[in-house]
Structure formats: structure tokens, C-alpha cells
Amino acid sequence: PATAAAGGGGPDGGSLSGGGEAFGDRSLSQGLSVLVGLALCVTMLGLGCAVELGQLGQQLRRPVGLLLALLGQFVAMPLLAFLLALIFALDEVAAVAVLLCGCCPGGNLSNLMSVLVDGDMNLSIIMTASSTLLALFLMPLCLWIYSRHWINTALVRLLPLGAVSLTLGSTLLPIGLGVLIRYRHPRAADLLVKISLWSLLVTLVILFILTGTMLGPDLMAHIPASVYAIAVLMPLAGYALGYGLATVFKMPPHCRRTVSLETGCQNVQLCTAILKLTFPPELIGSMYMFPLLYALFQSAEAGLFVLVYKMYGRDSYKQDTLGEEEDTDISYKKLKEEEVADTSYGTVTTEEHNSADMELTQTAL
């Protein structure tokens, strides 16, 4: 029954389960499981290395980043994924893949993109880290809530929420290790952050190659146009929702850009790992491809975001920065003038001293 459900779906929604036989190959399946597991560990280690305890303490005292991560990743994005699955009339297999991606926490790609758009790096890292920790409890809850629409299908009844929680819990160890490395060995932590960012790109390329090799020419036929449309629209809508959310909170422009990228960029390594490690291979099929498609389009759209900013927004950022520096210089000059005025108070200048000597001489005469 589970296999039948995985292969079901109407013509409108299509099915992502095609190619399940290829994923059923034991050696290939085990190889992919090891690859996505290692990629997830490296990503989480890099995330932990980017977190500084001092910054974390400041954010906890004024938890704006935590609140934005909560609203963006576990309110806006899951609801967006659910609505897109309904609008495009996806079957249960495709819907579960889209929901999983929508309920995932923020990914490391947003940290790199925030640097390129002159964003707030501290805010970006705190949002990514806090959404990852919140995912331990909120991701299974969101999956349970939004999968109710497809509860009558065998796949949703078999949705392994316990395994999802276990996979999320396993990410705490590399994150904690990364925080410890940052505290004890900052230089090594900086190197590991760079390695994790490069591993993100390399892993996605390898997964695309392996998946294309396993599924062959049938891959395009098994993924309907509606799924491609969602993979394009979902990150784009996420960026817009994040920018609107930051605008509601009246944040400065560089923070708005940061929140926008944080909301639209999902942790696709985690989504891929959950699909690969918690579902039987015969149920996965090409459902496994959705987070990879999402990663492709979220990267392309974030790249366009950066390009537009470099072309049109960089000058205004420089002017704002220059204005802040000029204000600082004026304040500094005023402060120095005040200091000069204070120090000269009650002193006798050379001219005053000479005139006083002349008066004394005239008096003596």
C-alpha cells in the first residue's frame, strides 16, 4: 500500500516518486546516505564555528533575531509551502517533499550572501543558529499540522516524525563542537567556516551528478512542471516575505536584506538528509530531487539579489556609511573644541601678560 501511495497522484500534481527502483539499489542508496550524512555534519560544524558566545548572549538579552527566525522559518515558510502544495494540487509524495523543505531551518548559504549584500552578519548567524535549534521542536510540529490535509494517504500516515526529530537532534553534536572550537581556537574555527561553505557547493554538485546518473533520462519525465514552478516560486516568495517582515519591525536596510536572505534560504542538506535517512528508498523516488531543485533556484535567485544590489544599491549604502562617518567627525571636532575651551578657561595668554607688564611699568613711573 505504501508503494502504491508513493506512486499515486493525479495529472495536475504529478508524482515525485518515479525512479524509486534506482534509489532501491542498495549500494547506491548506502553511498548517498553516507554522503548526505557527512555533508550535514560538516554544515552544522561550520554553523557552530560561526557562533560566538558573546554575540549569542547579546541576542538573548534582545532577542530580535530569535523572533525573526521563529516567524520567518516556522510561520511564514511552512504556510507558504502548504499553500503552494494546495494551489498546484500536488499529490502526497510531492506535498511531503515541499513541506519538508518549507519547514526546514535556515541554511548556511544565507550567511555567505549576507556578506555580499553588506548585511548584518551577526544577525544572519544568530538567525541561522536559533532556527536550527528551534527546529528540534517546531519542525516536527509544523509537519504534523500541515500534513493533516493528506492524512488519508499511506505515506503521510507513515511520516516518520520520530526519525525527523532524531535526525535534528543529531545535529546538536557538531554544532556544539563548532561552538567549542570557536571558543578555544578562533583561527581554526574561521577555517572550518570556509570549508563548510565550500562543502555546500561541492555536495550539491555531487548529489546532482549521482542522482542524474541513477535516474537517467527518466528524471525529467518523473518531475512534473508544477514541482519546478514551486521550486522557482518558493525561495522568491520567501525572500519577499522576509523583507516585508523586517520592514514591519522597522529595521534598517542592511538588516532587511539579511532577514530576506535568511527567510528564503533553507537548509537543503538537512532536508535531503531527512528524505534519504528516514524514508525507505522505494518511497523516496525522485521526491529526493526537490530540495536539490530548491537549492539550485534559491542560489540563482540569491545571486540575482546580490547582482541587483551591486548595480543599484551599493552607492546608497556607501553614502549612508559616509554620512555616519561625517557625523562622527563633526561630533569629534565639536568635542575637541569644547575641550580646548574648557582648558583655556582661567588661563592668561601672552598678549594679556605683556599688556599687564606695560600697565605695571606705567604705574611705577
Give ∠ CA 8-167-297 in degrees, rounded to 5: 60
| pLDDT (0 to 100) of residue 274 | 84
Q: What is the CATH number of the domain that holds 317?
A: 1.20.1530.20
Residue 76 counted as domain residue: yes
| pLDDT (0 to 100) of residue 212 | 63
Residue 20 counted as domain residue: no
| pLDDT (0 to 100) of residue 235 | 95
Residue 8 counted as domain residue: no
Integer Cα distance of 74 and 262 in angstroms? 12
| pLDDT (0 to 100) of residue 32 | 67
What total of structural domains would you count in the chain? 1
CA distances, 290 to each of 40, 82, 222, 282 (Å): 17, 15, 12, 16
Distance of CA 252 to the CA centre of its chain: 19
| pLDDT (0 to 100) of residue 299 | 87
Residue 362 counted as domain residue: no
Residue span of the structural domain in which 259 resides: 37-322
Residue 331 counted as domain residue: no
| pLDDT (0 to 100) of residue 147 | 87
Residue 349 counted as domain residue: no
* Closest to 84 (Cα-Cα) out of 245, 220, 226: 226
| pLDDT (0 to 100) of residue 262 | 92
Q: List the chain residues with pLDDT less than 70.
A: 1-33, 55-57, 59-60, 154-155, 157-158, 163, 210-221, 281-286, 314-365
| pLDDT (0 to 100) of residue 329 | 41
| pLDDT (0 to 100) of residue 346 | 46
Residue 330 counted as domain residue: no
CA distances, 2 to each of 5, 154, 163, 165 (Å): 5, 5, 17, 22
| pLDDT (0 to 100) of residue 354 | 54
Residue 75 counted as domain residue: yes
Decide: pTM greater than 0.85.
Answer: no
SS (H, E, C) 29-76: HHHHHHHHHHHHHHHHHHHHHCCCHHHHHHHHHCCHHHHHHHHHHHHH
